[in-house]
């Protein structure tokens, strides 16, 4: 079974913070497994980003649906899901009926150029890649 990277772009640019292993009571075997996984993950990321063009839309013949724009022009479609997450209610003005909120907009799509077989990478079925290395859809939300 193959896995693909579902890309999620968080509009307010939250950074992923990786936790560090601060537990000093470990044995060599568990540490060796972690090192092997780290090597597999580095190799996976290197392989995924090799020859990756972030300026090109992530479409692949045979995998990406085709859309007929005109009788002459055919393009491949990328479905981008949109979500909105309420972070905080900042203010509620009952008199003027105005609700001020803090929200996070989320965009999700599948990049068909980032597909791998977990068996070839130590069973890794998910990976985090910084967004600056990847194609991002040009979408704006207007109020």
Q: Which residues contact 82 (CB under 8 A, 6 or more apart)?
A: 105, 106, 107, 139, 141
Predicted local distance difference test score (pLDDT) of residue 20: 33
| Residue 114, number of CB atoms within 10 A of its CB | 22
Q: How many residues does the chain have?
A: 143
Residues 121, 128: Cα–Cα separation, whole Å: 14
- Sorted by where each begins, the domain ranges of the chain are 3-15+23-133
Is residue 7 predicted with pLDDT exceeding 70? Answer: no
Predicted local distance difference test score (pLDDT) of residue 115: 85
Is residue 61 predicted with pLDDT exceeding 90? Answer: no
Distance of CA 87 to the CA centre of its chain: 20
Per cent of the chain over pLDDT 70 is: 62
| Residue 111, number of CB atoms within 10 A of its CB | 21
Q: Which residues contact 8 (CB under 8 A, 6 or more apart)?
A: 106, 107, 108
Residues 75, 28: Cα–Cα separation, whole Å: 53
Mean of the pLDDT values across residues 2-19? 40
Is residue 91 predicted with pLDDT exceeding 90? Answer: yes
At 65, is the pLDDT very low, low, confident or very high (cuts 50, 70, 90)? low
The residue among 64 and 108 whose pLDDT is bigger is: 108
**Listed residue (83, 65, 82) closest to 74, CA to CA:** 65
Is residue 141 predicted with pLDDT exceeding 60? Answer: yes
Q: Which residues pair with 84 in a beta bridge?
A: 105
């Amino acid at each position: 079974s193959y896995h693909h990277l579902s890309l999620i772009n968080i509009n307010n640019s939250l950074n992923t913070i990786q936790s560090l292993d601060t537990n000093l009571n470990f044995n060599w075997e568990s540490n060796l497994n972690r090192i092997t996984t780290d090597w597999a993950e580095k190799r996976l990321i290197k392989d995924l980003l090799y020859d990756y063009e972030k300026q090109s839309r992530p479409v692949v013949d045979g995998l990406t649906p085709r859309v007929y724009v005109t009788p002459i022009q055919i393009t491949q479609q990328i479905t981008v899901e949109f979500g909105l997450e309420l972070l905080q209610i900042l203010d509620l003005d009952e008199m003027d009926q105005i609700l001020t909120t803090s929200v996070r907009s989320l965009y999700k799509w599948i990049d068909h150029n980032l597909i791998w077989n977990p068996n070839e990478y130590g069973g890794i079925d998910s990976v985090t890649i910084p967004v600056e290395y990847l194609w991002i859809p040009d979408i704006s939300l207007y109020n």
